[in-house]
Amino acid sequence: MTNNLSFHSLADASLIQACDVLNMAYKGYIVPVSFDPVSLARRIQAENIDLVSSQLLTRGQETVGILLIARRGNVSRIAALGVVKHLRGAGIGKHAVAHAIAGARARGDDRVVLEVIETNEKAISTYEKAGFKRRRTLVGYMHDPAEPKNGAIPSSTDVTLPLLIGSYPRDMSWQTAPICFAGASAPIKAFQTPDETAAALVDTSGQVARLLAFAVHPAKRLNGVGRLFMASLLGHFPNKSWTIPAILPASQAAKFLISSGWLQSGLTQLEMELHLDY
């Protein structure tokens, strides 16, 4: 069924068309997801999705799937891979993965990485058969509405980004790396402590606030600065529940977050990678 499968650069499609295909391809997914042009445009910017390398998949006149490829330096990432529901299991996903790997080889990339929900056994099997190895688990957290509290003051990415770069580990996941926030703008909001030793980025535009980034200057750690700033940040929006998406490496910040009242959510992802040999 994949003999007449064709790939077409997403650079030739509109955001509306891309969203239509994504919504068809992710219908009935393990976790309900929906795509719209505004949120997709923000993902393209933050995650460095390469529209030229990303592909629409067709079979004859039918669009049957989509492959989003993100790129940073000599690393490619499968940012999304979806196949329309009635053709899942027909081998289309396997061919899309092979196409992504071939594209990375043609560019001379060192690695291909991806994230997959840990309970998605079929997808994990497809990736492992293509040579991907499990690297680590990515987790998310939840926090109930907090008591009103002052202390976090509005800031800008001019302050936040250098602090993230200087304090984050080098091996952050793709979606939590500081480079994601270089172009952060509304509805993302930045906050800081008065002395600029701690900062955070949040998105409070939805019903549940999302904590996107949080950093404390290394010299100020272990003396309560982080906990006080976290409490003031949560208390700045006292009517909001909070979430951290399941994109944070399980080994990073777990003790701090749990001690600050966060609870790990049930959804986890696997980060997988394929080292390319030449």
pLDDT digits (tens, 9 = 90+) for 201-227: 999 999 999 999 999 999 888 789 999
The pLDDT-based confidence of 4 (bands split at 50, 70, 90) is confident
CA 192, CA 183: separation in Å to the nearest integer? Answer: 18
Q: Is residue 254 part of a domain?
A: yes
Report the pLDDT value the prediction gives residue 151, as an integer from 0 to 100: 86
169 and 260 share one domain:
yes
State how far the alpha carbon of 219 is from the alpha carbons of 103, 164, 223, 258, in Å: 43, 14, 9, 21
11 and 83 share one domain:
yes
Region of residue 253 (phi > 0: left; psi between -120 and 50: alpha; otherwise: beta): left
Model-wide pTM > 0.85: yes
Amino acid residing at 114: L
Q: Is residue 130 part of a domain?
A: no
CA 253, CA 133: separation in Å to the nearest integer? Answer: 24
CA 19, CA 99: separation in Å to the nearest integer? Answer: 21
Among the ranges given (2-6, 78-82, 173-177, 263-267), the one the predictor scored with the smallest mean pLDDT? 2-6
Mean pLDDT for the chain overall: 95
Report the pLDDT value the prediction gives residue 223, as an integer from 0 to 100: 84
Shortest CA distance to 204 belongs to which of 235, 180, 229? 235
149 and 261 share one domain:
yes
105 and 148 share one domain:
no
| CATH number, residue 260 | 3.40.630.30
* Structural domain span for residue 170: 141-270
Q: Is residue 151 part of a domain?
A: yes
Is 160 within 8 Å of 200 (Cβ atoms)? yes
Number of domains making up the chain: 2
CA 163, CA 214: separation in Å to the nearest integer? Answer: 9
Q: Can you say how many angstroms the Cα of residue 104 is from the centroid of all Cα atoms in its chain?
A: 20
Is the pLDDT at 62 greater than 70? The verdict is: yes
Q: Is residue 117 part of a domain?
A: no
Is 111 within 8 Å of 123 (Cβ atoms)? no
264 and 187 share one domain:
yes
149 and 264 share one domain:
yes
Q: Which residue has better confidence, 102 or 150?
A: 102
Q: Is residue 38 part of a domain?
A: yes
Q: How many CB atoms lie within 10 A of CB 36?
A: 12
Q: Is residue 114 part of a domain?
A: no
206 and 149 share one domain:
yes
Report the pLDDT value the prediction gives residue 73, as an integer from 0 to 100: 96
147 and 254 share one domain:
yes
Q: How many CB atoms lie within 10 A of CB 122?
A: 11
Q: Is residue 217 part of a domain?
A: yes
Q: Which helix (DSSP H) or strand (DSSP E) does residue 52 occupy?
A: none
153 and 245 share one domain:
yes
- The CA-based dihedral angle spanning residues 60, 66, 71, 74, taken in that order and rounded to the nearest 10 degrees: -60
Contacts of residue 32, defined as CB under 8 A and 6 or more positions apart, other chains included, come to none
Last residue of a domain, one of 109, 126, 151: 109
249 and 162 share one domain:
yes
DSSP secondary structure letter of residue 49: B
| Range 235-263 burial, b when 16+ CB lie within 10 A, else e | bbbeebebbbbbbbbeebbeebbeebbbe
164 and 254 share one domain:
yes
The pLDDT-based confidence of 145 (bands split at 50, 70, 90) is very high
* Percent of the chain surpassing pLDDT 70: 99
87 and 165 share one domain:
no
Q: Is residue 209 part of a domain?
A: yes
Is the pLDDT at 143 greater than 80? The verdict is: yes
Report the pLDDT value the prediction gives residue 278, as an integer from 0 to 100: 87
